[in-house]
Structure 1
Amino acid sequence: MAKTSEKSPAKSLDWSTLLQSGNRIFIGSHAAAPQALLADLMARCKNLHDIELVQLMVLADNCWAEQRYSDLFKINALFIAGDKVRSAVAEGRADYTPCFLSEVPALFKNEILPLDAALVMVSPPDAFGYCSLGVSVDAVSAAVRSAKKVIAQINPKMPRTNGYTFIHQSQIHAFIEQAEDLPELPAPKLDEVTERIGQYVSMLIEDGATLQLGIGKIPEAVLRYLGNHKDLGVHSEVISDGVMELITKGVINNRKKTFHPGKTVTSFCMGSKALYDFVDGNPHVEFYPSEYVNSPTNIARNDAMIAINSAIEVDLTGQVVSDSIGHKFYSGIGGQVDFSRGASMSKGGKPIIALPSTAKNGTVSRIVATITEGGGVVTSRGHVHYVVTEFGVASLRGKSIRERALELIRVAHPKFRKQLLDEVRTHYWVPHYQKDYPKDVVELGKVGVKTLTIAGEQFDLRALNPADERRLQEFFYSHTKETLLLRYNHHPKQMSREKSCTLVSVDQSRDLALCIVKQQGSVLEIQAVGRYYLNETDNSAEVAFVTRERHHGKGMAKRLLEEMIKIARMRELNRMLAYVRADNKPMQKVFEKAGFKRIASGDPDEVYLELPLKAVEPEK
């Protein structure tokens, strides 16, 4: 250590010999802020003024951001967190510098933000003189290597973590030794909306995938629904208690990772004392600096990389606002773009934005036609593959603006869907003939998707919706003349986009249109469609099906019919009926096996079948 550190550990420091007015200092981030060290500085600052204090998120009360310290500090937040910092930025007493987390270290190294000092918390030195940066390596590592002076709080309660976490005591210019419990982050309480978002996101994660998750309700909800997954890995800027629990259960074992196999890779952790104890000396969890963990190139070296991030609002083209609410800056860019870009470059990767559909107790839609004035785009419309709300998954990759708008309206809250469609129609993002907004089939359940295994393949059964317009058109043109004749009783030669739009824009509360789809990542293909049309005069429904030729005879029509009968009973219809060509024997068998009975018909070329759904009361 330097001369000031060769003596016994100081309980307080002579800051006038360490700092000068106008200096720029960096303070340790997240759960590793050296709070006793900062308290000593604030108590003994003497004649120091105008120190620029650079910080990321700090898990503390951020008292140094209060008005009473404005003569001593001017905060420069690279990520805004905490009410006091947020208020200081809003009032102009503090600055916000937007920056990708992967590029923050370069600000220090390249002296764009040259550091006079780094105030950090470390573990006691080992027998070889090395201290660990513990639970927060992220940008702290670069600050330690770049600052003219390193001033440390040596905390015996700081875990010694593995990876690129060590600093030799000779690099420390001054220190105090102060035991201090690390601040804990309580587990969030999950609500029904968050739980459903977690379910939808978990459906996008395949066994063997590598995950990046943040902190908060949605990441914890996702982790809760991964308990039956296998061989998951983690490459994430932060890990939480939920990650620890899945590692303990063996769900996360990093066996299938293609980058750092066998290791959970992170740059910091926040959570309970149990989590801090878990990472202490744990050889299976490695901490690396942000420029390494958040490098899109390194992220992409993980096959099947799943990046899960949140947002404040998403517009109907897919632009993501996540650091501001209108003109008010709220958080920061952080690692969202780093991981979205890295996951999009990964083989089989998926960048996901997950958010509740509304804010302010359901009064404001977070899916918006246009970004709120003053709001800034953090993640571009080209980066996002999926947007998830409690109403479903919007798949955006490879979609046109029209298709994106319809996909995102579908996952917006139902009470805002008509308004959103009306707003985007004025910009010609959707055509004039697109009059109906997506409606849910509530009888399919809250998730609205059922996973089917048919002939050894996995498919999804769900409602047909307006965003399927082009896919239905492709489905139509895939049919042979024979299939079209059996379905329509003639040979239609064209399925225009306008006609396709009419067929997918269904009032699902009245009529019913279900489909079976095969989806692999962003590739979606319709395999079968089943419909019924309500006849209000006698409360009956006429049923029709069409299946892709390669799946004929595999039972898709049967599965669709079973679901439609169930929904018709729930809606208390009197009966279902079907008209089938006399030469279409396979379809006749599907209906008859479901309980439909043949009814005499005057047309020899057509078979009429009927399924009573209600017992007919005898006439009195």
Structure 2
Amino acid sequence: MGTSQQLTTNDGQRVNWSQLLKSGSRIFLGSHAAVPHALIRDLMAHSRHLHDIEIVQVYALGDNQWAEPEYTQQFKVNTLFIGGEQVRTAVAEGRADYTPCFMSDIPSLFQEGILPLDAALIMVSPADKYGYHSLGVSVDIVSAALRSAKKVIAQVNPQMPVTFGQAFIHKGQIDAFFEAEASLPEIAAPELDAVTERIGQYVSLLIEDGATLQIGFGNICDAVLRYLGNHNDLGVHSELITDGIMELMQKGVINNRRKTYHQHKAVTSFCIGSQTLYDFVDGNPHIGFYPSEYVNSPANIARNDNMISINSAIEVDLTGQVVSDSIGHQFYSGIGGHVDFSRGASMSKGGKPIIALPSTAKDGTISRIVPHLTEGVGVATSRAHVYYVVTEFGVASLRGKSIRERALELIRVAHPKFRQQLLDEVRQHYYVPNYQTIKSVEVPELGPVGFKELCIGGEYFDLRPLNPSDERRLQEFFYSHTKETLQMRYNTVPTQMSREKSCTLVSVDQSSDLALCIVRQKGSAAEIQAVGRYYYLPHDNSCEVAFVTREVYQGKGMASRLLEEMIRIAEQRGLTAMHAYVRAENTKMLAVFERAGFKRMPSEELGEVLLKRPLAGAA
């Protein structure tokens, strides 16, 4: 090895850049937090006589000075993922190129000679006693680059952590060494606003104990991790790990015990975060760093049962198409591992691909749920690859939904001020019929997440508001009833629940009337088990209430739970009384009301019982 700040060969001989590169060479630059900044600075200072060197890179943390205009004649950047303002500006101004590709596919571009590499500039730890250097915090595509490049030039940094997995290169594979000690670039944990917190909370509700996680980068993903502290036996198979992952591992929340692929080990390809994180991965046998073609392979991802993929997006249209790398005609980031993990999670047994994003951008002036994609953008993730879209207004479930149902689900989680506009625009394409309406769908009295989990008879259900996308579920619920149930609920035996009628029943203004349901939810499948409603009567500030329960659950307490919630909500809204009309022979329903404090009153209808209950709002 040579002395500090000199390029040397393995036997200690000095070498210069002219012996390693020539004008027109294509070089790979180490990625993420493992960019060899001292090495590239030395190249910039000692290769002014070289021209048109193409730099192939992905996200490079730190100063990307080589992308500045003054180096245009010396370097041309071809980025496979746009990160950092210097590179983003260079791409926007036409001084740099952007090549869109899946992270899992990048290694084959090197190996098959589509992007042949003359050299790979990387950063490694000092060699161990066996002569092996660790690639440290970025194995990802670095591994393929050094195997494919004609020459490997390494900055040896004593501060680079030693990581395990497939993270080593022998000193004999390195053509030139440059010893330079430097701290790794850090990214501080972000401050989370209320919108981001709420999105994180909603996403966490989709994650079950024992799931395996892939987490993208950014505030929303950090927020999700902060809401997983009460989960158990989570695993990690993710191209990236962050401080949030580290903290959950330290708490034992992430223990990889129930993984079905690489059990007992967190699998990743790179990490970005604080120095505490870099210290955590240093020599940690519980974390395996593997190449991108292995970690990001959809087939390998799918070998994890209950695989949860969580990524953000720039916009989503009402059919479920996801944009993640561009804003209009301007390329902003890249595809990265987004599609790899969405596809892998969709192939996993019990897997869930999730897209999470705020409902608006530019201080609330534009909707990120859009009727059609903005001109110039590209679809990163197809409408068939996304199961859930989450905003601060809830969770839209898209799997197995028609275009009409998808549109209604996504409008429901859009910002309220854009919902009618979205509905009006999507109607122009006949995705949603004219009789479908969007009214106030939130019931804030149910709490911050808008629903409650119930355990009834050892089974778990969600109690939540009915919403416009429940139209088909309500039809199925109606046609499941026996004649006796229909007679008891409607005082007649209706034979049809048309789509128009069903739409009317689920299009409820929940700010005045109330329509709640109890739903058995299994992944993307949902089945209504009970419905409770009240209709507001403004003349005396009261309401009329009614219920119907699927036969198999009658007598199990569902109506009582719905009534309990409706009484509480009506009292919070200041209503003075509730009343109900029940057929005299419906003894079970009469008992439900009377246990809740309703009293029988004289009724004008023969065979019908009027029940009434004063509410605290009367005071």
The TM tier, using the shorter chain, reads over 0.9
Tell me the alpha carbon deviations over residues 51-108 of structure 1, each in whole angstroms, 9 at most, x when there is no partner: 0000000111211111111111110010000001000000000000000000000000
2:147 maps to a residue whose letter is: R
Cα drift, residue 558 of structure 1: 0.8
1:62 partner letter: N
Q: How does 1:105-144 map to 2 (within 5 A)?
A: 105-144=107-146
- Secondary structure in structure 2 of the residue aligned to 1:314: strand
Partners of 1:29 and 1:399 lie apart in 2 by 39
What is the Cα deviation at residue 119 of structure 1? 0.2
**Cα deviation digits, residues 564-619 of structure 1 (max 9, x gap):** 111111111121110000011111111111111111123341110011125768xx
The 3-state SS of whatever aligns with 1:529 is strand
Amino acid of the structure 2 residue aligned with 1:335: G
Deviation at 1:436, TM superposition (A): 2.9
Please report how far the alpha carbon of residue 437 of structure 1 lies from its aligned counterpart in structure 2 after TM superposition. 4.2
> Following the alignment from structure 2 to structure 1, what is the Cα–Cα distance between the partners of residues 605 and 99?
76
1:422-437 equivalence runs, <5 A: 422-437=424-439
Is residue 456–residue 557 contact of structure 2 (8 Å, CA) maintained in 1? yes
Aligned residue in 2 for 1:421 = 423
Pairing 1:4-403 to 2, within 5 Å after superposition: 4-8=8-12, 14-403=16-405
> 1-side partners of 2:354 and 2:440: how far apart?
22
Alignment of 1:512-551 (within 5 A): 512-551=514-553
> What's the offset of the Cα at 1:438?
5.2
**1:388-447 superposed Cα distances (whole Å, 9 cap, x missing partner):** 001000000000000000000000011110110011011100012113345211222231
Alpha-carbon shift at residue 449 of structure 1 (Å): 1.3
User: Quick one: distance in 1 between partners of 2:389 and 2:320?
Assistant: 8
Aligned mates of 1:368, 1:324 — CA distance in 2: 15
C-alpha distance in structure 2 between counterparts of 1:286 and 1:47, whole Å? 42
Contact conserved, 1:9 with 1:177, CA < 8 A, in 2? no
SS where residue 353 of structure 1 aligns? strand
1:216 corresponds to which letter in structure 2?
G
In the alignment, residue 18 of structure 2 is paired with which amino acid?
Answer: S
Query: Do the aligned residues in 1 keep the contact of 2:419 with 2:438 (CA within 8 Å)?
Result: no
The alpha-carbon deviation at position 535 of structure 1 amounts to: 1.2
Letter of the 2:34 counterpart: A
The whole-number CA distance in structure 2 between the counterparts of 1:315 and 1:77 is 27
Q: Is the 8 A contact 2:10 2:175 kept in 1?
A: no
Q: Does the Cα contact within 8 Å between 1:484 and 1:491 map onto a contact in 2?
A: yes
Secondary structure at the aligned position of 1:534 is classed as: strand
Give 2:602's aligned residue.
600
Deviation by residue 1:493-523 (Cα, 9 ceiling, x = unmatched):
0001110000000111111101110111011
After TM superposition, the structure 1 stretch with the greater mean CA deviation from structure 2, 1-10 or 536-545, is 1-10
SS class of match (1:98): coil
In structure 1, distance between residues paired with 2:335 and 2:440: 32
How many angstroms apart in 2 are the aligned matches of 1:23 and 1:612? 83
User: Structure 1 CA distance, aligned partners of 2:437 and 2:518?
Assistant: 24
Secondary structure at the counterpart of residue 542 of structure 1:
strand
- The one-letter amino acid of 1:325's match is I
Code of the aligned partner of 2:610? Y
Residue 440 (structure 1) aligns with: 442
Q: Secondary structure at the match of 1:6?
A: coil
Quote the offset at 1:175 in angstroms.
Answer: 1.1
Conserved 8 A contact 1:237-1:268: yes
Alpha-carbon RMSD: 1.3
CA distance in 2, matches of 1:260, 1:75: 37
Cα deviation for residue 4 of structure 1 reads: 4.2
How far apart, in 2, do the equivalents of 1:46 and 1:591 lie? Answer: 87
**Cα deviation per residue 1:99-142 (whole Å; 9 max; x = unaligned)?**
00000000000010000000000011111111010000000000
The answer to whether the 8 Å contact 1:438/1:466 transfers is no
> C-alpha distance in 1, partners of 2:17/2:618?
92
Q: Is structure 2 residue 563 aligned with structure 1 residue 557?
A: no
Distance in 1 (CA, whole Å) between partners of 2:230 and 2:297 is: 30
Structure 2 CA distance, aligned partners of 1:572 and 1:126? 73
In 2: Cα distance, 1:555 partner to 1:187 partner: 45
Match of 2:463 in 1: 461
Aligned-partner Cα distance in 2 for 1:438–1:313: 23
**For residue 66 of structure 1, what is the amino acid of its counterpart?**
E
The residue type paired with residue 170 of structure 1 is G
Q: Which blocks of at least 5 consecutive residues in structure 1 are unaligned?
A: none
Q: Report the residue type matching 2:228 in the other structure.
A: L
CA distance in 1 between counterparts of 2:287 and 2:105 reads 23
TM, length-normalised to structure 2:
0.98
CA distance in 1, matches of 2:360, 2:326: 16
Does 291-300 or 559-568 show the bigger shift?
559-568
Contact 1:356–1:390 (CA<8 Å) still a contact in 2?
yes
Farther-moved stretch of structure 1 (303-312 vs 213-222): 213-222
Identity of aligned residues (%): 72
Provide the rounded CA distance (Å) in 1 between the counterparts of 2:304 and 2:25.
40
Instruction: Give unpaired runs (5+ residues) of structure 2.
Output: none
CA contact (8 A) 1:514 1:530 kept: yes
Change in CA separation of 1:9 and 1:293 when aligned onto 2, cut-off 3 Å: farther
2:10–2:177: 8 Å Cα contact kept in structure 1? no
Shift of 1:305: 0.3
CA distance in 1 between counterparts of 2:292 and 2:469 reads 38
Query: Which stretch shows the higher mean deviation, 558-567 or 263-272?
Result: 558-567
- 1:124 is matched by which residue type in structure 2? P
Name the CA shift for 1:600/1:187 in 2 (closer, same or farther; >3 Å).
Answer: same
Contact 2:51 2:75 in 1 (8 A): yes
1:258-277 C-alpha deviation (Å, 9 max, x unpaired): 10001000000001111111
Conserved in 1, the CA contact under 8 Å of 2:574 and 2:618? no
C-alpha distance in 1, partners of 2:70/2:323?
33
Deviations 1:258-314 (A, max 9, x none): 100010000000011111111111110000000000000000000000000110000
The alpha-carbon distance between structure 1 residues 258 and 326, as it changes in their structure 2 partners (threshold 3 A), is same
**How far does residue 31 in structure 1 lie from its aligned partner after superposition?**
0.3
